[in-house]
Amino acid sequence: MATAAALKIQIERVLESRFPAALSPVPRTIHEVAPTGIAAVDALLEGGLPVGVISELVGPECSGRTSLTLAFVAQRTAGGQICAWIDAGDTFDPDSAAASGVRLRQLLWVRCRDAKTPTRRSEEEPWTRLDQALRITDLLLQAGGFAAIVLDLGSMDPANGMRIPLASWFRFRQAADRSRCSLVVLGQASFAQSSAAMVVDCISIRAQSQNGTVLAANTFELSRRRQRFSPQLTLTCKPPASTWTALSSWITERSA
């Protein structure tokens, strides 16, 4: 009777032309990472977000995913690098970005708008913005020159995000690796599936108010769902002035 190891070798030999090492785990590769500037987050992610791959920050509204991404983009622009923010839902706030330390002169903000087609049904409009966002992401990745590109699908219905073809994500992954660009995808669910090298879940666990009316602070908690690489921190730059504080979770202080 054949052993399990022998059967595994036989199966892989049969499938080697289509699926090399089909039953063997893929070894984690080493990727350089770039810090977010938030000590607690960088410790969790073993240095920060990876360079040259797709990372997904997943969570509901007000889960901290946008605040975390702004801190990351602030780090990249502080080092003199160019970034892009593809705003599929037209929700990006430049004032909040500047307050988080992002150098707006080094950030390309791409706003996606609904096409003016009166005959189109309203439920199809989010897909129109999504289609614009995907085309622009592809264009910028292929052009190169960006240290980080944020594909903000956070306000999109997850059902629309699930319609993105896997071929698109594979193309993005290849282009990100070739251009050494960090593609950060924000969404209420994970859309890139196997093309994402890192998936981080974000949740809000506590909100603090001032005088019962003004939001003074938020406490967020992160959990790393997937990480397909061994990080190697090679990029360093001086963090911009910020009010991030590392406790058992990470906290963002908001001025009144």
pLDDT at 17: 58
3-state secondary structure (DSSP) of residue 125: helix
pLDDT at 73: 97
Collapsed DSSP state (helix, strand, coil) of residue 185: strand
Count of CB atoms within 10 A of residue 36's CB? 26
> How many other CB atoms sit within 10 Å of the CB of residue 65?
27
pLDDT of residue 218: 72
Nearest-angstrom CA–CA distance, 143 and 217: 39
Residue 19: exposure state from Cβ atoms within 10 A (0-12, 13-18, ≥19): exposed
pLDDT for 9: 67
Q: What is the pLDDT of residue 225?
A: 81
The pLDDT profile of the chain, 256 residues, written as one tens digit per residue, is 457 767 666 766 666 655 555 445 555 556 789 999 998 888 888 899 999 999 999 999 888 899 999 999 999 999 999 999 999 999 999 999 999 999 999 999 999 987 665 445 444 455 689 999 999 999 999 999 999 999 999 998 999 999 999 999 999 999 999 999 999 999 999 999 889 999 999 988 776 666 666 655 677 888 888 776 655 433 333 333 333 333 334 443 333 3
Task: Give me the pLDDT at residue 204, please.
Answer: 81
d(CA 186, CA 58): 6
How far is 162 from 164, CA to CA, in rounded Å?
Answer: 5
Number of alpha carbons in the 13 Å side-chain half-sphere of residue 124: 7
Q: Which domains does the chain have, with CATH numbers?
A: 25-253 (3.40.50.300)
Q: What is the pLDDT of residue 128?
A: 86
Q: Is the pTM here over 0.85, yes or no?
A: no
Angle, alpha carbons 129-135-141 (nearest 5°): 130
Dihedrals phi, psi of 4, to nearest 5 degrees: -65, -40
Residues 44 and 198: beta-carbon distance below 8 Å: no
Q: Do 166 and 190 contact (CB within 8 A), yes or no?
A: no
